[in-house]
Amino acid sequence: MKNFDFKKLVPHFIAIAVFLLVTIIFCKPALESGVVLKQSDISSWQGMSHQSMEYKEKNGHLPLWVTSMFSGMPAYQIAIEGAWSPLQIFDKAFQLWLPKPMNFFFLACISFYFLCICLRIRSYAAIIGALAFAYCTYSPIIITAGHDTKMLTLAYTPALIGAVILLLKRHYFLGFSLTALFTALQVGQGHQQVSYYAFMILLVMTLFFIVNAFKNKQTVGLVKSVGLLLAAGLMGIAVNAITLFPTYDYAKYSKRGGQLILDENNNKAEKTSNGKTNGLSKDYAFQWSYGRAETMSLMFPGVKGYGLYFAQRDGETSMFPMLNENAKVVSYMTSQFPQAPADQIAQQMSQSLYWGDQPFTSGPVYLGAIICFLFIMGMFYLDGEHKWWIFTASLLGILLALGSNFDTFNTFMFNYFPLYNKFRVPTIALVIPQILAPLMAVLVVNKLLHEQDEKETWAKFKLATIATGVLFVIGLGFYATSSFGNENTARTSAFNKLWESKPADFQAQYAAINEQYKPQRDNQVYENWVIQLQQSPDAIKVAREIVVELKKDRASLLLRDIFRSFIYVLFAVILIGAYIRKKISATIMLAGVTLASAIDLISLDFNYLNAKSFETKDNYEQAEFAMSAADRRILEDKDPNYRVFNASVSSPFEESRTSYYHKSIGGYHAAKMGIYDDLSAYQMSGRPNQAVLNMLNAKWFIVGEGDKIQALQNPEALGNAWFVKNVRFVDGPAAEMKALTNLNTKDSAVADASYKDIITNYTAPDSLATIKMTQFDNDAITYESNSTSNNAAIFSEIYYKDWNAYIDGNKVPIFKANYVLRGLIIPAGKHKIEFKFEPTIFYTSKKVSDITNWVLFILILAAIALEIRKQQKSAV
């Protein structure tokens, strides 16, 4: 080591110092003691996982089945634990053991920097791209939302791409080891959709590498590289077998494996089998599709307005308003409502600035004006080695993000591309250009630092500047021709006619309008204000004027953003042009472009993550999970095995706070069990089917709103298990679901005809027949029965393939009853009945993970040792 030139490390240390400094400045509150980041989805996860954590405190390990959500589901889809992995050392080191959210941004920077080093890009040029990737607006948006797994998976993706490039460039041992490591770390963060998009990037890149190798007759070693690439990927996947294999197995039985379609019209539009989709329903999967014009947000962030910036303080939700007191709509409303504080009006109306196609959004995906300019320049300036695969993959990401707004292509992908119909929210595909646009930018800057041909460079620079100017003209054209509105005019006309007639059953007829017409954003603003101003004779006029003024503010924001992006691009054009003409040094050009690009992005990022995003841990937990009077009343119940249905919330199946304290009928999970998702959609949406709630043992209802929320006991709950008089057979899931609508669940059950061989030789129970739960554990439940004849028993437990039943120690078949529950034929006499959750896939996967973790760890240590030895030899 004495001959090693440590000066070579100085640029790397400077880059790391820059990343750390920017992260500290941006996330400064995270360094304060006792302060946590407020994240809505993390709060949801805490509600989901609380019962599992309590179980672990008592039993020393997490359960495999959780009963606090959706009446029961596999717990390893919420919280999972395997053996300690030595790879966690690398994971923590790459994040520099920083607190959240500093670790996210630092990891993203380091990961992208590693990619640049693999491409032999100069360190100082790499800093521009690393900061642009890490601080793209999508990053703080998903971090404050609580999408930790998504951000960590995204952050590791550039490093994975870099490792694959090493392997494809025939650095076999090092490339193989690092590809396996970063596959393991990237996939191990647990967001399969982002990993899927990373796979798409690697697929496109590898195909281009293969084509170029054949064109340039450089196929020696290509087969070896691709073979090692596949092997490294498989090893990285095997490391995560503990999470991947059970999830893959479960996915077939979750809503992502198929959803029931009862509507015949919808059924024709979906690819179905036996009344169920083959994956998610297309309408559900494509809900968050980026608008065509909205794609311009990559350069002009406010092209479709801005989303909502929420924070909690002192237990109350507030918003960071985009509008101020001088905004058009605020000025108009303060003139109409002088008693209302202007800041409150600004906060309220800021919620309506977004007028795009998504149901709601926290904000636009903005890559940065300078980064977009450099991407365009790359298309003129770079050679074909990397330019075309970056462009192709970026375009693919944009097209995928359009979802239903580019329907033909995305429907084809949804129906035929492997596993694609298991994912939702097409907008997430914009992570592809988030990674690749900064990569194109640093390749441009790096080539500028090496370029010798001033004349050719200047010519291509001018073309890029003209092309970028055309984009600004398009942006201004969009501004000049847009209505800045999002309204269903047919709905507005129907609403106005209803309002003018003011019938006695106004609410009923208004509900009918809601059923007939889909409301757009401006309908919601307009109708809400008309109803609020119902005592005013000018209600319609005032509400309409509010919408008109709101549109003016949307237009003003877009014009501001176009001008803002123009200033940043102009600054970069001047610096780069001056450098090409040798008027300034490379240092000044690099420093100026890096600083301007970082300021461009981070100044917008502060709208999503700032000091208001943090709270003391005690205040945060108290605000999120304060026990209500209804909670206390229910917890007084000494019977621990009942369920709670929270009817006081707008959507019981999209919230997990109830699960924090209770065994909930509802809950929140993006991949709830398919049969339960069907049940909630067709039997418990709107006015729930009381008989279904009874069979789910909903002993307590939470009802009311505000300070009037209370707990009501349901005397009709059927308990943990009961005998039925008869079981009716039907053909297929659609018929089974329809049969539930008018089923007397106390005396009867319904089952698919496929269970006829199991459900035989039983009679109606007599008055002396009994069945009761005697012992409960999440993963094992025991009952005792006593009857004079064979009876059909229904258990208020969710049916899943990995539950096994034993009567007096002998395994017996389970049938699926009432679409979601378990049923058994119990022989006459006194018997001990046991249900055991025995997921073989989980135990097998755990062994695979344990072994491959240590194999990969040893392999990485060997690769590091070999690389150090190689550096020592080269230094001699």
Going by C-beta distance under 8 Å and a sequence separation of 6 or more, which residues neighbour residue 486?
355, 356, 520, 521, 522
Does residue 148 form part of some domain? Answer: no
Confidence of residue 410 (pLDDT cuts 50, 70, 90): very high
Q: How many CB atoms sit inside 10 A of residue 701's CB?
A: 22
Domain with 831, as residue range(s), is: 721-838
Q: Please tell me whether residues 634 and 712 are part of one structural domain.
A: yes
Q: Model confidence over 276-308: pLDDT tens digits?
A: 777 778 888 898 899 999 999 999 998 998 876
Q: Please tell me whether residues 709 and 730 are part of one structural domain.
A: no
Indicate if the alpha-carbon torsion angle 770, 775, 780, 782 is positive or negative: negative
Give the tokens for residue 302: 């406010």
Q: Model confidence over 656-694: pLDDT tens digits?
A: 899 999 999 999 888 889 999 999 999 998 789 999 999
Q: Please tell me whether residues 825 and 777 are part of one structural domain.
A: yes
Q: Please tell me whether residues 834 and 725 are part of one structural domain.
A: yes
Does residue 506 form part of some domain? Answer: no
Q: Please tell me whether residues 833 and 728 are part of one structural domain.
A: yes
Does residue 155 form part of some domain? Answer: no
Confidence of residue 13 (pLDDT cuts 50, 70, 90): very high
Q: So what's the pLDDT on residue 874?
A: 66
Q: So what's the pLDDT on residue 827?
A: 96
Confidence of residue 47 (pLDDT cuts 50, 70, 90): confident
- Angle between helices 431-450 and 192-215 in degrees, nearest 10: 40
Q: What is the CATH number of the domain that holds 763?
A: 2.60.40
Does residue 62 form part of some domain? Answer: yes
Q: Please tell me whether residues 729 and 633 are part of one structural domain.
A: no
- Helices (H) then strands (E): counts for the chain: 32, 22
Percent of the chain with pLDDT over 70: 95
Q: Please tell me whether residues 711 and 776 are part of one structural domain.
A: no
Q: What's the one-letter identity of residue 646?
A: N
Q: Please tell me whether residues 707 and 776 are part of one structural domain.
A: no
Does residue 853 form part of some domain? Answer: no
Whether the per-residue pLDDT at 507 is higher than 60: the answer is yes
Does residue 136 form part of some domain? Answer: no
Q: What one-character-per-residue DSSP string does 690-716 give?
A: HHHHHHTTEEEEEE--GGG-EEEE-TT
* Residue 512 CA neighbour count, 13 Å, CB half: 8
pTM, two decimal places: 0.90
Q: Please tell me whether residues 748 and 691 are part of one structural domain.
A: no
Q: So what's the pLDDT on residue 875?
A: 58
Query: What average pLDDT does this structure show over 447-452?
Result: 88
d(CA 550, CA 354): 10
Q: So what's the pLDDT on residue 706?
A: 77
The answer to whether residues 824 and 755 touch, using CB atoms and an 8 Å cutoff, is no
User: Residue 761 class from Cβ within 10 Å (0-12 exposed, 13-18 middle, 19+ buried)?
Assistant: exposed
Provide the Cα torsion 397, 399, 400, 404; round to 10°: 160
Does residue 344 form part of some domain? Answer: no
Does residue 706 form part of some domain? Answer: yes
Q: Please tell me whether residues 729 and 829 are part of one structural domain.
A: yes
Mean residue pLDDT across the chain: 90
d(CA 359, CA 403): 13
Q: What's the one-letter identity of residue 563?
A: F
CA 486 to chain CA centroid, nearest Å: 26
Q: So what's the pLDDT on residue 269?
A: 58
Q: Please tell me whether residues 711 and 740 are part of one structural domain.
A: no
Domain tally for the chain? 2
d(CA 293, CA 478): 8
Q: Please tell me whether residues 729 and 823 are part of one structural domain.
A: yes
Smallest CA-to-CA distance from 780 within 806, 760, 754 is with: 806
Residue appearing with tokens 């650095």: 171
Q: So what's the pLDDT on residue 14?
A: 94
Q: Model confidence over 377-392: pLDDT tens digits?
A: 999 999 988 999 999 9
Residue appearing with tokens 């396996």: 180
Q: So what's the pLDDT on residue 312?
A: 38
